[in-house]
């Protein structure tokens, strides 16, 4: 196995492919992180305060979240990528392991994001769609953009993260699924989609009421997850795995209220898109012919940098930038302009031979870029246009021009200090066989770490043969702690029989205002659905920790306290003058198919089982001692 793996790596490491998918993966990973940071800022007091708005234990949390947001923005745009992605990885580890996020507000995808972040440390994420690319070009401003080589990466940069972060995850998940009766019955997607706490606002009952379709979906997912790690790299099967996986996680994103998990998984499917698709998309988006030609002073550093910046953002390739010294004489429409005149401004010529200069050139550039048309319109507004003219003249008339020989306009090599270049690319070029052997050992080590988790939780734990005093068991647990913290390796036993068995009741909270009218707290609605934005990790807190098949009263009291204090403050209630009612609804979570089970659960009646009151920042509960028996 080791020899076969080493030979395969040796074969793949020499295959260079476009960096497009890697850049887009980095961009979407950053966007998912940024949206989660906004979520944490909104629910800051609910998640991090012991008593929301009353006992604020971590007042600096919003500040650090904002710093993290800046770092995530750097990741999105690919600015100082090695620094940004390292800081982002550290932030994920700190927030997940040293705040209540891990214990009480597990987002369901936190460890997955840590694992993805770890691989991004070693991926060339800034070789496409990045500011770092532009910064490299600006470091040698007299090199024309057409002389820069196309950015490519080894195909291993695509395959390895997918194999480990998706392949290992799916295989581990499929092991756990075989212990769940509803998955064995082909109802793995059906059961959670019939539970009010888990569904989004989209009514999917027309799909859920087709038993044959649900069986096909359930068994397809099992086969898909079992086989993914073995076959996803095959060209003949890649599109099939891409289609099934993309459809699966898109369905999770829109039909369940755990959308961050769905989005995080979807981002990885960018790496599975066939490379020829990127080339086809590039040909479709790129203009067949330039619609605007811009002439610039080749001896002006500012002009050269301006051209590099504008070309970097000309994603449709509609503008051609040419040296005024070399090419202006080739265009008859410019014959009436002297060389000195051409060098004083930035001139442009469109397909109708209309000539523009100065600010008018910039306006045309933005309009021809299409997506920056609003900027061009803005520059043409009365007042703004005059200010732009004044600023442009001030810069254009005071710019420096320097003597330039042939050596300063030839392509130069750029320094790349990324981990990918230092520990992957250079080794693969200089010592390919030694590199393939080293990488094979690393991959086998990761496989063993994943197997430790899969065997420990999937077999030993489920067959209850785990002995906490056994040295082997203790060693396994110690490894699990490290790999879970830093690599995101964790069991993926999501929504199985041990989660839904006995899940026959759900809770909601209402309140009476000062006029005696009852209102539903904007948390769980009359149907029993968790309302937006109480999704993601807030859903996990309520549906997976507070309300379970076996409700623990102290734990339930804690989260009722948090929810009433948080939403009471959010909607402007005076807690001392409000009575909160705790309502219970009976539902069913069968492991066999039942027609219209979702609507049956949604329409089940509520009964009031108790009340909660606040007085002088203290909460009191009037609830049954054993809710499980109601």
**What is the Cα–Cα distance from 76 to 575, expressed in whole angstroms?**
41
What pTM does this model have?
Answer: 0.91
pLDDT in tens, 283-303: 888 888 899 999 999 888 899
The pLDDT confidence band at residue 347, using thresholds 50, 70 and 90, is very high
Using the predicted structure, report yes or no on whether residue 273 has a pLDDT greater than 80.
yes
Using the predicted structure, report yes or no on whether residue 153 has a pLDDT greater than 60.
yes
Burial class (CB in 10 A: 0-12, 13-18, 19+), 345: buried
Sorted by sequence, the CB contacts under 8 Å of residue 492 that are 6+ apart come out as 169, 172, 173, 176
Q: What is the mean pLDDT of residues 447-464?
A: 73
**What is the Cα–Cα distance from 126 to 80, expressed in whole angstroms?**
9
For residue 615, the cross-strand partners are 618
At 467 the pLDDT is 59
At 75 the pLDDT is 97
Highest mean pLDDT among 302-306, 477-481, 505-509: 505-509
**What is the Cα–Cα distance from 54 to 618, expressed in whole angstroms?**
10
The pLDDT confidence band at residue 225, using thresholds 50, 70 and 90, is very high
At 593 the pLDDT is 95
At 406 the pLDDT is 43
At 411 the pLDDT is 44
The pLDDT confidence band at residue 470, using thresholds 50, 70 and 90, is low
At 41 the pLDDT is 96
Mean pLDDT of the chain: 88
Using the predicted structure, report yes or no on whether residue 187 has a pLDDT greater than 60.
yes
Specify the higher pLDDT residue, 441 or 598: 598
Specify the higher pLDDT residue, 400 or 428: 400
| Residue with token string 């971590």 | 58
At 199 the pLDDT is 94
At 410 the pLDDT is 46
Q: What is the mean pLDDT of residues 484-507?
A: 82
Q: What share of the chain is helix, strand, coil (3-state, %, to 5)?
A: 60, 10, 30
Using the predicted structure, report yes or no on whether residue 597 has a pLDDT greater than 80.
yes
Q: What is the mean pLDDT of residues 534-553?
A: 92
At 559 the pLDDT is 96
Specify the higher pLDDT residue, 71 or 396: 71
CB 624 within 8 A of CB 583: no
Using the predicted structure, report yes or no on whether residue 405 has a pLDDT greater than 60.
no
Q: What percent of the chain has pLDDT above 70? A: 93
pLDDT in tens, 74-120: 999 999 999 999 999 999 999 999 888 888 898 778 988 999 999 99
Using the predicted structure, report yes or no on whether residue 179 has a pLDDT greater than 80.
yes
User: Mind listing the domains of the chain with CATH numbers?
Assistant: 286-409 (3.40.30), 501-629 (no CATH)
Q: What is the mean pLDDT of residues 316-326?
A: 91
**What is the Cα–Cα distance from 443 to 440, expressed in whole angstroms?**
5
Sorted by sequence, the CB contacts under 8 Å of residue 258 that are 6+ apart come out as 108, 109, 198, 252, 535, 536, 539, 540
- Which residue, 101, 110, 40, is CA-closest to 68? 40
As given in the structure block, the two tokens for residue 209 are: 């009421």
pLDDT in tens, 354-374: 999 999 999 999 999 999 999
**What is the Cα–Cα distance from 605 to 426, expressed in whole angstroms?**
66
The pLDDT confidence band at residue 266, using thresholds 50, 70 and 90, is very high
Using the predicted structure, report yes or no on whether residue 466 has a pLDDT greater than 60.
no
Using the predicted structure, report yes or no on whether residue 353 has a pLDDT greater than 80.
yes
The pLDDT confidence band at residue 464, using thresholds 50, 70 and 90, is low
Using the predicted structure, report yes or no on whether residue 403 has a pLDDT greater than 60.
no
Q: What is the mean pLDDT of residues 334-341?
A: 83
Q: What is the mean pLDDT of residues 39-46?
A: 96
Sorted by sequence, the CB contacts under 8 Å of residue 164 that are 6+ apart come out as 115, 119, 443, 446, 450
As given in the structure block, the two tokens for residue 490 are: 């964790």
Specify the higher pLDDT residue, 469 or 7: 7
pLDDT in tens, 567-584: 999 999 999 989 999 999
Q: Mapping DSSP to helix (H, G, I), strand (E, B) and coil, where does residue 25 land?
A: helix
């Amino acid at each position: 196995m080791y020899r076969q793996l080493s030979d395969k790596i040796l074969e793949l490491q020499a295959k260079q492919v476009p960096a497009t998918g890697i850049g887009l993966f980095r961009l979407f990973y950053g966007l998912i992180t940024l949206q989660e940071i906004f979520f944490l800022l909104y629910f800051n007091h609910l998640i991090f305060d012991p008593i929301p708005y009353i006992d604020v234990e971590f007042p600096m949390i919003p500040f650090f979240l904002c710093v993290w947001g800046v770092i995530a923005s750097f990741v999105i745009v690919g600015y100082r990528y090695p620094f940004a992605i390292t800081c982002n990885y550290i932030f994920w580890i700190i927030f997940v392991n040293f705040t209540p996020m891990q214990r009480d507000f597990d987002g369901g995808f936190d460890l997955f994001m840590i694992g993805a972040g770890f691989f991004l440390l070693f991926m060339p994420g800034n070789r496409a769609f990045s500011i770092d690319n532009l910064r490299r070009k600006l470091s040698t401003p007299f090199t024309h953009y057409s002389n820069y080589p196309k950015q490519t990466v080894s195909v291993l940069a695509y395959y390895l993260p997918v194999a480990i972060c998706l392949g290992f995850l799916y295989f581990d998940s499929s092991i756990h699924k075989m212990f769940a009766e509803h998955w064995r019955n082909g109802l793995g997607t059906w059961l959670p989609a019939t539970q009010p706490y888990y569904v989004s606002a989209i009514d999917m009952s027309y799909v859920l009421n087709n038993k044959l379709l649900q069986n096909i979906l359930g068994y397809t997912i099992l086969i898909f997850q079992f086989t993914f790690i073995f076959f996803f790299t095959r060209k003949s099967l890649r599109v099939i795995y891409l289609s099934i996986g993309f459809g699966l996680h898109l369905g999770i994103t829109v039909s369940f209220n755990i959308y961050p998990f769905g989005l995080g998984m979807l981002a990885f499917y960018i790496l599975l898109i066939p490379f020829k698709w990127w080339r086809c998309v590039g040909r479709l988006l790129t203009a067949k012919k330039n619609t605007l030609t811009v002439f610039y002073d080749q001896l002006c550093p500012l002009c050269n940098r301006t051209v590099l910046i504008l070309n970097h953002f000309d994603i449709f390739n509609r503008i051609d930038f040419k040296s005024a010294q070399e090419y202006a004489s080739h265009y008859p429409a410019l014959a009436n302009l002297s060389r000195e005149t051409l060098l004083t401004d930035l001139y442009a010529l469109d397909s109708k031979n209309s000539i523009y200069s100065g600010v008018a050139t910039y306006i045309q550039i933005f309009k021809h870029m299409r997506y920056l048309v609003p900027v061009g319109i803005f520059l043409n507004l009365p007042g703004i246009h005059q200010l732009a003219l004044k600023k442009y003249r001030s810069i254009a008339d005071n710019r420096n021009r320097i003597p330039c020989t042939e050596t300063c306009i030839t392509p130069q090599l750029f320094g790349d200090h990324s981990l990918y270049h230092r520990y992957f690319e250079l080794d693969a070029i200089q010592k390919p066989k030694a590199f393939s052997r080293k990488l094979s050992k690393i991959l086998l080590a990761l496989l063993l770490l994943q197997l430790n988790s899969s065997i420990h939780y999937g077999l030993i734990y489920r067959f209850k043969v785990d002995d906490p005093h056994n040295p082997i068991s203790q060693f396994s647990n110690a490894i699990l702690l490290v790999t879970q913290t830093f690599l995101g390796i964790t069991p993926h036993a999501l929504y199985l029989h041990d989660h839904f068995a006995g899940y026959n009741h759900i809770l909601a909270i209402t309140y009476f205002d000062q006029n005696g009218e009852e209102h539903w707290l904007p948390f769980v609605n009359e149907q029993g659905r968790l309302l937006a934005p109480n999704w993601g990790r807030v859903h996990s807190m309520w549906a997976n920790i507070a309300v379970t098949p076996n409700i623990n009263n102290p734990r339930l009291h804690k989260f009722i306290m948090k929810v009433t204090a948080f939403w009471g403050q959010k909607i402007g209630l005076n807690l001392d003058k409000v009575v909160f009612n705790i309502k219970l609804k009976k539902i069913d979570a069968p492991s066999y198919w039942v027609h219209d089970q979702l609507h049956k659960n949604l329409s089940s009646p509520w009964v009031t089982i108790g009340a909660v009151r606040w007085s002088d920042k203290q909460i009191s509960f009037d609830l049954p001692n054993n809710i499980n028996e109601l």
